[in-house]
Amino acid sequence: MQEYEGKIRFVYRDFPLDNIHPNATPAAMAAHCAGEQDAYYAFHDALFSYRYGFGREAYLSYAAELGLDVTSFQACLDENRYASKVEDDLRYGYSIGVSSTPTFFVNGIAIVGAQPYEVFQQLIEKELAGQ
């Protein structure tokens, strides 16, 4: 993002594969609850630290560690406030051919799987050059 600041747009969508990871949807919803307190990416990163694992108590621990208002965060979790947003993202992903994570798109061109930076850089440069 630093290298291409002002030239590209980054959009992150949920694609929880519950059949592989049963906590994927609740974790995605918890991240959105953290987002209400401007901590979406910090919470996302905390989840991937696996420090507390997954599940309700883990999400509350991550929220407390990040200094979030845990009461508000917990209310968001209890309401399943972001269930429809996460489900909508999943449906959208399937509709455009996503079947695994991570999957990235650069101007509609899919990059599937964890790839080195150079793969993204080459495609972004090509697209910015209009080729």
What is the per-residue pLDDT across 5-54, written as a single tens digit (0 to 9) for each?
999 998 999 999 999 999 999 999 999 999 999 999 999 999 999 999 99
- Show the CA angle centred on residue 1, arms to residues 24 and 34, nearest 5°: 35
Structure tokens belonging to residue 108: 């509609």
Confidence of residue 1 (pLDDT cuts 50, 70, 90): confident
Structure tokens belonging to residue 125: 């440069």
| Cα 71 from Cα 117, distance rounded (Å) | 39
- Taking every pair of C-alpha atoms in the chain, what is the biggest distance, in angstroms? 51
In this predicted structure, the answer to whether residue 131 has a pLDDT above a threshold of 80 is no
Q: What are phi and psi of 4, to 5 degrees?
A: -115, 30
**Percentage of residues in the chain having pLDDT higher than 90:** 95
Domains of the chain: 12-96 (3.40.30.10), 100-131 (no CATH)
| Cα 88 from Cα 92, distance rounded (Å) | 6
Listed residue (44, 39, 31) closest to 77, CA to CA: 31
pTM beyond 0.85: the answer is yes
